Amino acid sequence: MDHAAIGHYRAYRPRPFTRSERDTVTVLFGGLHWRAERLIQGALENLGYRTRILPGATKEDLLTGRELADIGQCCPTSFTAGNLANFLRSEAVRTSAADVAQKYVYVTAGACGACRFGQYHQSYELTLRNLGMESFRIFLLAQNGLDQGAADGSGLELNLPFTMGAIWAVLVADLLQDMEYQVRPYEVNPGETERVMRDAVQYFYEVFRTSPLRGGKAGVVLWYLGTDRFLKALGEVRRSFERIEVDRLRVKPVVKITGEFYLQTVEGEANYNIHRWLEAEGAEVYPAAIAIWLDYLMRYAARDYADHLGIDRLARLKLGAVKTAQALLRFTYNRMRGALGNVPHELPDQRELYELAAPHYHGRLSGGEGDMLIGKALWAYRHKKAHMTCELSPYACMPNTMSVGAMAAVLGKHPDLLYAPLEIKGDAEVHALSRCQMILAEAKRQAQREYEEALERSGLTPEKARALYDAAPGMKRATYRVPHCGAAGAAANLVLHLAGCARR
Amino acid sequence: MQRWFARTPSADSKARAELRIGIPKALGLWSTHQFWVGFFTALGIEPRRIVFSSDTSEEQARQYGKGRVTVDCCYPVKCISGHYGELLVREKHRKIDVLFSPMIYSLPSFLKGHALDTLACPRVMAAPENIKAGFLREKDAFAEHGVRYAAPFVSLGDPKLVPKQLHEGLQGVIPALTLAETRNAAREGYAALEAFNARAARRSREVLARCAREDRPCLMVLARPYHMDPGIGHEIEMDLQAHGYPVLWAQHFPTDPDLLEWMFGDDIRRGFIRSPHDISDVWPSSYSANTNEILWGAKAAARMPWIACVIRLASYECGMDQPSYTPVQQIVERSGTLFFSFQDLDSTKPAASMKIRVETIAYYLQKHWRDIIERKKAASAPGCPLRKIAPPAGPAGGPGFRA
């Protein structure tokens, strides 16, 4: 027997996606909320890619994912792998598997480290094998690289124009989402916010799609940092929001969403539509901005470089570079936030998150959200940014389970911190929502107490507060920024603000 | 001179000599314990005062860990509450002063430099923070027992960084600790670990050489190092060993150049891999040290004719092992090697079903090992170095030896 006769196992390797295929091959992507996906689509189309957003993941996708990949995977893997599989299957029915493999490629984030997320490729690979579509091409882009070069074949260039476009799209989407969630619970005419938001996202899709293309790497960076194109567009959106009338005297608990990246970001069946459910239950949702995650990644990298000072001779240079990038990210976010009248929430200071979490969870522990789950919960509690934190993690999420466990000591110290860690399996909705509802009930009581205390402190009655509010129509605009007066809820802050204005 | 001073015990050497350090024998400690013994000994701690908790058991969890678990997760992490509790309540004359539970971020690995990284599992590295919370949430159980809790964050896979991290992490724990002596102690720790691993690999080679000489089968265990804990791995490999088959662990597989060239030379020449330690042909995202070693072990088992059977052990809810189930099985089975997997291991040992499975494995092995060895030998490159070299002097480890 020939000594090479055993056909050893080899991992999946996508065949190249060539530059010449770019005009005929469609890049599939998904896994974020619809606003971010649509704006990224605009940014990618601006670079000459044909793109298509995968439909939102459903329970059917979850079951397909479980069926086609290894048992025991976390639900984001099942949702995303099943989502892709069902899409490919439905397309193959219309044409053929070979045609689908030729017409589409899939791009997703991955390759970050040692939790399941860093090993998603294996689930996708197995899914494709079990689907009989091994020739389909999947490309992973590392979440921590700005300029990763070209994927095999140069059809997909993960370069600075690609990354900068995607980051700017994410920042705008974050701000729009935040605005939406701060306005909708208080809108006087139901459906108005929804309509304005749809128009705003479509408008921004065009803004990104038609951005003037820039030359080299430095040119792209400078253009994005210097242009007022997006600020002007945000100004337009602000004017649209201005027409929405709100009633911020409605007492509502603020629920901050944290958790595993996928589950805290998507809005749909993958997280039991928790954003909409919370709103329907009478809460104001404080959504999880993707920008915080980007900020955290840079903080984490900076800490690593700082640890290597005196060991790696380039560490100081790298530290300086990553700190500059972090400052530029925050600068850009704040500029954009300013264009929306500073109504969207600010980015929490990463240093503060680190310091708050440090006694309970080491800042260098990696995987998932690291120390941020604890840091963010304590930050929201200390600064009265929310009445309650709802933490969404997949069942058996490796890193997040650890920080949820470490939260036991935090809760021992701060028993009034309302914290709802929900383990999301994808098919245990009633269990998760009823658990959330128990803590939400306490958050509602807290919001009501806070409102009553605000009235007492300000010497107002509800009727008097209403009269003052009615007398200041400018405050009823969705774009009016009620200052944070030490309360978590909008109504309590408004009462204190009205009293302050009346005194002046 | 600097080295000499670094080696000189500080003025607080007496205080150090009286310290008793308790270390939970769990998770990353199963592959790094020799480092810690070497490290603390070099710092002037008496070896007999470096104490490990006992093997994991349900009894331990019931007696010492009850009410301390803060979250439901995999048993190898969850059981550490029992280890902490056991160390805290030692009798007065054996009482520990320091409970030392390092947060090991990355691990030393023979695949270092060939894989993308050598990280520990996210749960493994963060476990001390999680377990600690259970001992703090009502009151400070460490303070109550007069024990200092020390959980330094340490990147053992990055030796240059280790002295700095341990020096910072052990301030106030080891009296008058200096960076220079920490540096020296870390060096001693690595030397102790390397010597131990080299010894284990040498014994593994001896077992393989004897199997090759006698054309007899042996087994390989693919698991995480903590599955060597009888309370985690449930001694499945010991039961198989009782049937007369020598057992090797992938972590201690010999990595001598002659052997690796014979096993992987063909793959290198055909461009599948760049070096014998390269696993990118089967596992592109090679971040996890233990996962990488399991994948590499599967490749080694597939190419070693006398490994007739592979036993895979994995704990319930292990997110690190889950994505690797299929590739590991594929790598092993495509080579014609028998593959048996014990997944979802938990706290309780299902003794009866394990006995049946072990007997089934023994039956298949008995029936097929000759054919397997012959087939794999035929598919191997000529000139196996295991058959060329005369058996080394000294005990080679007979049946019942665990490398």
Which of B264, B299, B322 should we substitute to test contact with A (largest number of A Cβ atoms within 10 Å)? B322
Average pLDDT over residues B151-178: 96
Per-residue pLDDT at B403: 33
Same domain, yes or no: A312 and A424: yes
Q: Which of A110, A137, A158 is the last residue of a domain?
A: A158
Of B71, B322, B380, the CB nearest to A404: B71
Q: Do B122 and A114 touch (CB under 8 A)?
A: yes
- Whole-angstrom CA distances from A486 to A264, A385, A455, A483 are 26, 9, 13, 9
Q: With respect to residue A489, please indicate whether it lies within any of the assigned structural domains.
A: no
CATH no. for residue A53? Answer: 3.40.50
Beta strands in A90-162 (DSSP E): 104-110, 137-142, 149-150, 157-158
Same domain, yes or no: A30 and A172: no
Q: With respect to residue A185, please indicate whether it lies within any of the assigned structural domains.
A: yes
State yes or no: pLDDT of A152 exceeds 70.
Answer: no
State yes or no: pLDDT of B232 exceeds 90.
Answer: yes
State yes or no: pLDDT of A3 exceeds 50.
Answer: no
Where does B206-388 sit in CATH, by number? 3.40.50
Q: Report the C-alpha gap between A260 and A262 in whole angstroms.
A: 6
Q: Do B285 and A403 touch (CB under 8 A)?
A: no
Query: A144 in contact with B at a CB cutoff of 8 Å?
Result: no
Same domain, yes or no: A106 and A169: no
Per-residue pLDDT at B13: 78
Per-residue pLDDT at B394: 43
Per-residue pLDDT at A159: 84
Same domain, yes or no: A105 and A182: no
Same domain, yes or no: A172 and A147: no
Same domain, yes or no: A251 and A311: yes
Per-residue pLDDT at B73: 87
Q: Which of A158, A185, A207 is the last residue of a domain?
A: A158
Q: Report the C-alpha gap between A491 and A486 in whole angstroms.
A: 12
What one-character DSSP code corresponds to residue A151?
Answer: P
Beta strands in B159-306 (DSSP E): 218-222, 247-249
A99-146 pLDDT, tens digit each: 999 999 999 887 566 677 777 788 888 999 999 998 999 988 765 554
Q: Do A412 and B122 touch (CB under 8 A)?
A: no
- In chain A, the largest separation of any two C-alpha atoms, in whole Å, equals 96
Q: Count helices and strands (H / E) in chain B.
A: 17, 10
Same domain, yes or no: A110 and A128: yes
Q: Which of A253, A274, A255 is nearest to A393 (CA)?
A: A274
Average pLDDT over residues B63-82: 92
Q: Do A407 and B121 touch (CB under 8 A)?
A: no
Of B320, B330, B334, the CB nearest to A114: B320
State yes or no: pLDDT of A247 exceeds 70.
Answer: yes
* Residue B306 contacts residue B123 (beta carbons within 8 Å): no
Q: With respect to residue A496, please indicate whether it lies within any of the assigned structural domains.
A: no
Least confident of A105-109, B297-301, B361-365, B387-391: B387-391
A391-408 pLDDT, tens digit each: 999 987 888 888 888 999
Q: Which of B120, B103, B197, B194 is nearest to B157 (CA)?
A: B120
State yes or no: pLDDT of B124 exceeds 70.
Answer: yes
State yes or no: pLDDT of B239 exceeds 50.
Answer: yes
Q: Which of A470, A472, A469 is nearest to A491 (CA)?
A: A469
Per-residue pLDDT at B114: 95
B209-220 pLDDT, tens digit each: 999 999 999 999
Average pLDDT over residues A24-34: 94
Q: With respect to residue A500, please indicate whether it lies within any of the assigned structural domains.
A: no
> How many structural domains compose chain A?
2
CA-based nearest residue in chain A for residue B288: A114
- Crossing angle for the helix pair A192-209 and A160-183, nearest 10 degrees? 170
* Residue B34 contacts residue B193 (beta carbons within 8 Å): yes
* Residue A340 contacts residue A183 (beta carbons within 8 Å): no
Q: Report the C-alpha gap between A218 and A224 in whole angstroms.
A: 10
Per-residue pLDDT at A144: 56
- Whole-angstrom CA distances from A430 to A74, A416, A434, A437, A441 are 19, 25, 6, 10, 16
Least confident of A120-134, A319-333, B176-190, B206-220: A120-134
Q: Which of A498, A421, A501, A502 is nearest to A462 (CA)?
A: A498
Q: A391 to chain B: which residues are within 8 Å by CB?
A: none
- Whole-angstrom CA distances from B340 to A469, B247, B279, B329, B370 are 72, 14, 22, 9, 18
Which residues in chain B are classed under CATH 3.40.50? 206-388
Range of the domain at A33: 19-158
Q: With respect to residue A6, please indicate whether it lies within any of the assigned structural domains.
A: no
pTM, full prediction: 0.92
Same domain, yes or no: A115 and A198: no
State yes or no: pLDDT of A6 exceeds 80.
Answer: no
Q: Do A361 and B288 touch (CB under 8 A)?
A: no
A158-179 pLDDT, tens digit each: 888 888 999 999 999 999 999 9
Q: Do B126 and A403 touch (CB under 8 A)?
A: yes
Assembly ipTM: 0.90
Per-residue pLDDT at B70: 87
Q: Report the C-alpha gap between A184 and A186 in whole angstroms.
A: 5
Q: Report the C-alpha gap between A119 and A121 in whole angstroms.
A: 5
* Residue A378 contacts residue A349 (beta carbons within 8 Å): no
